Amino acid sequence: MLKCKEVTYLLSQAQDRPLKLAERMNLKMHLAMCVGCTRYQKQINFIRHACRKFVVRETREGDGQS
């Protein structure tokens, strides 16, 4: 079973690359049991989503669109 430190690393990696099947399975098992890592996953997903929206908004405002 993965440790929390390994899980946070994999969750960060998952933002940049597709995870291998074994990595995804190990993550799912750990996240099913660990509230802290589940919260971390939700936080990084929220931050990524917010950053994407910010970039889209900045791009539109730079083009003179709103």
User: What residue type is assigned to position 7 of the chain?
Assistant: V
- Name the more confident of 30 and 55: 30
Token readout for 60 is 């539109």
Chain Cα centroid distance, residue 7: 11
What is the tens place of the pLDDT at every residue in 3-36? Answer: 999 999 999 999 999 999 999 999 999 999 999 9
Q: What is the pLDDT of residue 17?
A: 96
Per-residue pLDDT, 63: 66
pLDDT at 54 over 90: no
pTM over 0.85: no
